[in-house]
Amino acid sequence: MIWSTFATSELISDGHLEIGDGYRAKNSEMAEEGVPFVRAGDVDGRVNTISADLLSPASVEKVGRKRSMPGDVVITTKGTIGRLAFVKSGDPEFIYSPQLCFWRSLQLDLIDPRWLFFAMRSQEMLNQISWSAGQTDMAPYVSLTDQRTAFKITLPPINEQREISSILGALDDKIELNRRMAATLEEMARSLYRSWFVDFDPVRAKMEGRQPAFMDDTTAALFPDRFGDNGLPEGWESKGLSEVATFLNGAALQKYPARDGEESLPVIKIAELRNGVTPKSGRATVELPPKYFVRNGDVLFSWSGSLLQKVWTEGDGALNQHLFKVSSDVVPKWYHYFAVDQHMEEFQAIAQSKATTMGHIQRHHLDEAIVILPDEEVLKTADEIISPIFDKAVAVQLENQTLAALRDSLLPKLMSGELRVGEAQDQVAELA
């Protein structure tokens, strides 16, 4: 089957494609109620409308076609350029800001919308985005004019488009399902931790003569029915975070540079903790001290800048400064993970109060952050219940890495015609 290359200007003039930018809103047009006004920071694989500002209903009436529609391909074109998202049927409606552009198929028999999303990630399109961004000495910017008049796109026959988008879309859908499952499982585990070890719900229930919620008699019997003189459940004790877990600070990895032609590791910094390993990530030699190796399942916690914590699932790496690798011989992994999580808002407030541009917490803040340690039997029983939930959340994130690697290897081959659809289906079937 013949693949044909078209100028976007031709597709637009023939009514097959629409490329638009966002609405230039004033601050005064924002309101407590309205439609989410999405900026570049809200786009990264999907559109986050939850934290977006709201454009007032009166202003929404003025935006015309600069509001999302199912099938839109969203691209960030100012600042951090090239981040993409696909608007699915049922997604919340939003208004485009000037930091965004959208590509919208108007002729579904010529351009499959989801195929268009993957085409925007092809090397053909990446080269054009890079060229456009390089036309200015100012901050990176992909102009609407370039997209409409200077870009080209190669279109396979519509049946092939649909087959390609079906394969890659199925992988994307599974990744998104896993992401949601992981978030749900983590929240379940967090809720149990907070109920039992922060709010002491089972103890309070027994004090009031009630059966602790969602708990069998054997488990309930392990919890005390009163508080001691220290204000804690009887027999329990308080400890600082640094007493229940070890916080290993990363190395100054410039001392361990990668050497050409030799094995190396990606450097895990705050950026990698937030966005994952990318081609821009630094590299370090594998000959660094073993304690600074990062493995799947390690808990990492950035103590400066953007404070955040996550379980690492992106393969081997090297731990950089400003990150702690958190481990414990005293409590299970989920316990110290949620113990740090319990104090995260407090830590973030401390970091933000610093006069320096990159605020941080210090060791004594870990000493002063108090967590409650139950008796051995309660902790053992809690581990039997919470560990499988926590571990499953990590497992589906690890599966996502495998799925994403397969998708990213198939995408350029399918979009260039190097790999036929049947061969790609076989590879996906092998993974399943």
Q: Where are the domains of the chain?
A: 4-155, 158-223+375-432, 237-373
pLDDT score at 313: 96
| pLDDT reported for residue 1 | 66
pLDDT value, residue 354: 63
Mean pLDDT by 10 residues, the chain (432 residues): 92 98 96 96 91 95 96 93 94 96 97 97 94 80 95 96 95 94 97 97 96 94 95 96 97 94 95 89 95 97 91 96 96 98 93 69 94 96 98 97 94 90 82 64
Rg (CA), the chain: 26
pLDDT at 422: 84
Pairing outcome for strands 308-311 and 299-302: antiparallel
Give the distance, in angstroms, between the CA of residue 340 and the centroid of all CA atoms in the same chain.
19
Rounded Cα distance, 29 and 40, in Å: 19
pLDDT at position 135: 78
Task: Identify the CATH homologous superfamily for domain 237-373.
Answer: DNA methylase specificity domains (3.90.220.20)
- The CATH code belonging to domain 4-155 is 3.90.220.20
Q: Is residue 14 within 8 Å of 7, Cβ to Cβ?
A: no
CB burial of residue 37 (10 Å; 0-12, 13-18, 19+)? buried
Q: What is the pLDDT of residue 417?
A: 86
One fold for 4-155 and 237-373: yes
Could you tell me the two tokens for 415? 């979009």
Distance of CA 367 to the CA centre of its chain: 30
